[in-house]
Structure 1
Amino acid sequence: MIQLIRTKSDNQDFIDLVYLLDEYLAEKDGKEHSFYAQFNTIDALRQVVVAYLDKEPVACGALKEIDKDRMEIKRMFTKKAQRGKGIASQVLEELEKWAQELNYPTCVLETGKRQLEAVQFYLKNEYQVTPNYGQYMGIKNSICFQKNLTSKSFNTNSFSEK
């Protein structure tokens, strides 16, 4: 059974998952990794979700405010052995629900064009490609997405707080 925990970026399980994510991204991004790494610090994230399968941390994601109308989805990761089981979609939905509870009508995110699985994942989860925003403007390897949350309703009983 999957258990979702709402927490902050000082959660050790989140930190450990992000370490694995950064290893994966360094391999995928190659020489461009240092550019992206500067935007992916986790020291001040206040909205973090960690997914547990049989008490083992297996996936994570976080939110970061962009402006009064948009939260950015950050640090999405699922351990390789647990991919394809719908866990990442549960984490993403929990993040979207949390953003909506905080009165943000839109979620945005950036991923690399080389991360084909991530691109397909966001399209499958109803994200629309949008012009690159902020620091990603003009970056050829970046693809940005957004999703309007105002018409979405969520199940309110899927998480614990920690």
Structure 2
Amino acid sequence: MEIKVDDLTDPRIADFLEEHISDMKSVSPPESKHALDLDALKEPDITFWSVWQQGDLIGCGAIKELDKTHGEIKSMRTCSSKRGSGIGASLLKHILDEAALRGYERVSLETGSMPFFDPARKLYSKFGFNFCQPFADYKLDANSVFMELKLPNA
């Protein structure tokens, strides 16, 4: 498995992200969908990683710098055929290691509150994320759950 910073130019990334957006639209009402599209992920304050195995795209994730001490995890996804195999955990560890190298004091995220998102919430909890109030520009929303992790270097 290889995790690499990705410039988002490979058409397979666009297809993978479109599947992610479609999944989010199928379970979240439009006002509660916070998944970023391809263009939004190209913003300079976002670093995007893709995960590859034997030439196949199997996962992705990103971190958005909210300020010099605070990052937000975005677009975490594992392909459906590989879910539960540890790819998400490996990618999350990679992203958190990068956040620590950047000197972030905390990392936050928004995910859904519906049963579809149970595996994601369990993964984040396993890594020490705790539930928190909305951050950045988010508002309280019954369809969203907010979590944060204070990093050890804080």
- What is the DSSP-based 3-state SS (H/G/I as helix, E as strand, rest coil) of the residue aligned with 1:44? coil
Q: Which residue of 1 aligns with 2:33?
A: 36
Q: Which residue of 2 aligns with 1:4?
A: 3
RMSD between aligned residues: 2.1
Q: Deviations over 1:35-75 (max 9, x none)?
A: 42476632315411111111201000001011221100000
Note if 1:16 corresponds to 2:18. Answer: no
Q: Gaps (5+ residues) in structure 1?
A: 153-162
- TM-score (normalizing by structure 1): 0.81
Q: Which residue of 2 aligns with 1:64?
A: 64
Q: Which residue of 1 aligns with 2:123?
A: 121
Note if 1:131 corresponds to 2:133. Answer: yes
In the TM superposition, residue 100 of structure 1 has moved relative to its aligned partner by 1.6
Query: What number of residue pairs does the alignment pair up?
Result: 149
In the TM superposition, residue 110 of structure 1 has moved relative to its aligned partner by 0.3
Q: Gaps (5+ residues) in structure 2?
A: none
Q: Deviations over 1:2-54 (max 9, x none)?
A: 1111224445443332111111111111xx23542476632315411111111
Distance in 1 (alpha carbons) for counterparts of 2:74 and 2:35: 13
Which shifted more, 87-96 or 133-142?
133-142
Higher relative contact order (CA 8 A, sep 6+): 1
Alpha carbons of structure 1 residues 111 and 27: separation in structure 2 relative to 1, 3 Å = same
Q: Which residue of 2 aligns with 1:95?
A: 95
Alignment of 1:42-57 (within 5 A): 42-44=41-43, 46-57=46-57
Q: Which residue of 2 aligns with 1:107?
A: 107
- What is the DSSP-based 3-state SS (H/G/I as helix, E as strand, rest coil) of the residue aligned with 2:49? strand
Alpha carbons of structure 1 residues 141 and 35: separation in structure 2 relative to 1, 3 Å = closer
- What is the DSSP-based 3-state SS (H/G/I as helix, E as strand, rest coil) of the residue aligned with 2:123? helix
Q: Which residue of 2 aligns with 1:80?
A: 80
Alpha carbons of structure 1 residues 8 and 150: separation in structure 2 relative to 1, 3 Å = farther
Distance in 1 (alpha carbons) for counterparts of 2:132 and 2:149: 10
- What is the DSSP-based 3-state SS (H/G/I as helix, E as strand, rest coil) of the residue aligned with 2:21? helix
